[in-house]
Structure 1
Amino acid sequence: MTASLQFAPRTTVAEVEEGRSFSPRFGPDGLIPCVVSDAGRDDVLMVGYMNREALARTIETGIAHYWSRSRQTLWSKGATSGPTQRVVEMRIDDDQDALWIRVEVAGSGAS
């Protein structure tokens, strides 16, 4: 699924900060932080982390995927608990080292 999605290479500071290429900067641990807020209320729901695969799956499916640092595995919110996070909007900061996604929470127990 994720083999087709490639992120742009990080070239110059000007291209990263002011260009049109999407070239996220993953940290030395291979992760990028992601602030998640409710699209309807703008309440912060969580801060998670994504690796390349989680970010690619999120973009491809429209459902938020994360990397669990404690379990060392890819996961999708709601896969076991019910409520899922459908991405409404995704933004990245100017130097492309942090994400913000707005989601709609749907499923059992969602409010």
Structure 2
Amino acid sequence: MGSKARLYQGQTYRQLQAHNKTLRQEITSIQRQQLKNDGYKNIGWHQVISLHEKLLELSVGDLTLESLFIDADRIGNKYQTREEINGLHEQLAQINNEIAAEMDRYFPDNDEKIEVIHFR
């Protein structure tokens, strides 16, 4: 009976090292230098895990709301069929059109009602 591979958040040691390398490249050189000064290393199971947690902490601060929505959409699409995705997009388009119609009703585009005053 072989030994069971240790996992951290579903990743093996090598996968976690590779992910750390990718995350490390996305932070600034100043942050990389600070990690080095603080003793974070990408070698040894416990050090790899602590580096991973620190890199996630640093990268979370750099995320924008837009990138979070894009990531959430990408993750959600992995668990939906093409028909479900298309149905959702159709519902979204319909709701968007209803909102646009209401906006046009409350804020009509009437060029003749606009009064232009020239100051000279």
* TM bracket (short chain): under 0.3
If asked which structure has higher relative contact order (CA below 8 Å, sep 6+), I would say: 1
* Alignment TM-score, normalising by the size of structure 2: 0.21
Higher radius of gyration, 1 or 2: 2
The structure where helix makes up a greater share of residues is 2
